[in-house]
């Protein structure tokens, strides 16, 4: 069984990024990560510039 001591900040950031890339609402991500403040969640949802560009291209591809 995995305990809390086995998790790192990077794990929550990776999890949050995965959820963002799969169109999960930021408030849902906040609840899943048990954050009381959305700013903490937004920090964990940080995406690198390459991923941001891919998302922008995907969103605006049809325009």
Look at residue 39 and tell me if it is in a domain: yes
Domain count along the chain: 1
Q: Evaluate whether residue 2 is within a structural domain.
A: no
Residue 38 contacts residue 26 (beta carbons within 8 Å): yes
Q: What is the pTM of this model?
A: 0.58
Residue-number span of the structural domain to which 37 is assigned: 7-60
The parts of the chain modelled with pLDDT lower than 70 are 1-13, 47-49, 62-63
Structural domain includes residue 46? yes
31 in any annotated domain: yes
* pLDDT score recorded for residue 31: 93
Determine the pLDDT at residue 27: 93
- The number of beta carbons lying within 10 Å of the beta carbon of residue 40 is 15
């Amino acid at each position: 069984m995995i305990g809390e001591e086995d998790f790192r900040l990077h794990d929550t950031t990776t999890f949050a990024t995965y959820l963002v890339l799969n169109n999960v609402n930021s408030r849902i991500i906040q609840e899943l990560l048990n954050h009381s403040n959305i700013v903490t969640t937004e920090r964990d949802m940080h995406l690198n510039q390459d991923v941001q560009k891919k998302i922008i291209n995907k969103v605006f591809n049809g325009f």
